[in-house]
Amino acid sequence: MQKGFTLIELMIVVAIIGILAAIAIPAYQDYITRAQVSEAVALGGGLKSPLAEYGADKNAWPTKLVAPTVTPTTGQLNATLVGKYAQVTDTITGTYPVGQVTVTMKTGKASTASKNVLTYSTNNGGSAWACGNTTVDGYTGTKTTIDAKYLPNACKP
């Protein structure tokens, strides 16, 4: 009497592993992309308080955001602008109290040319910020082009 697996049994196991891999690989790639987008969310979110404070103090947005290693001059504000996957635009668009911070994905799956922008928007001098295309205090953020499936729940419309 011979013991072991038959060829059919081994092929069934290989087929099951193939099916599981076909499902798991795309899910894992989406997971990685969401993690990369979370860096953009953290970079933009880290600017909310300093910008609100600057705006309240000067009644204007800073003219330029500069790296932490640079000594800021008049109208400039130090900020972390570059991460591994994302980069903050060094200017705030809008006229105080309305403003928008733009974070662009520079590498990874979410860095596709037409779908790589995350914005933080405010219309009240930074008291409340809308992440992505969400609505906060009656104000809806705009211009976020990253697919909603990659955004955290706080930034989904």
What's the 3-state SS for the chain? CCCCCCHHHHHHHHHHHHHHHHHHHHHHHHHHHHHHHHHHHHHHHCCHHHHHHHHHHHCCCCCEEECCCCCCCCCEEECCCECCCEEECCCCECCCCCEEEEEEECCCHHHCCCCCEEEEEECCCCCCCEECCCEECCEECCCCCCCHHHCCHHHCC
Residue 49 resides in a domain:
yes
Instruction: Estimate to the nearest angstrom the gap between the alpha carbon of 146 and the chain centroid.
Output: 8
Residue 1 resides in a domain:
no
pLDDT band (50, 70, 90) for residue 79: very high
Mean per-residue pLDDT, 55-80: 93
pLDDT band (50, 70, 90) for residue 137: confident
Averaged confidence pLDDT in the chain:
92
Mean per-residue pLDDT, 31-59: 94
Mean per-residue pLDDT, 115-138: 91
pLDDT of residue 114: 83
Residue 2 resides in a domain:
no
Residue 71 resides in a domain:
yes
**Residue 91 pLDDT greater than 90, yes or no:** yes
- The tally of domains found in the chain comes to 1
Domain holding 18, by residue range, is 7-155
Residue 50 resides in a domain:
yes
pLDDT band (50, 70, 90) for residue 156: confident
Residue 149 resides in a domain:
yes
pTM for the structure as a whole? 0.84
Residue 109 resides in a domain:
yes
Mean per-residue pLDDT, 48-57: 94
Residue 108 resides in a domain:
yes
Mean per-residue pLDDT, 85-95: 93
Domain with 69 in it: what CATH number? 3.30.700.10
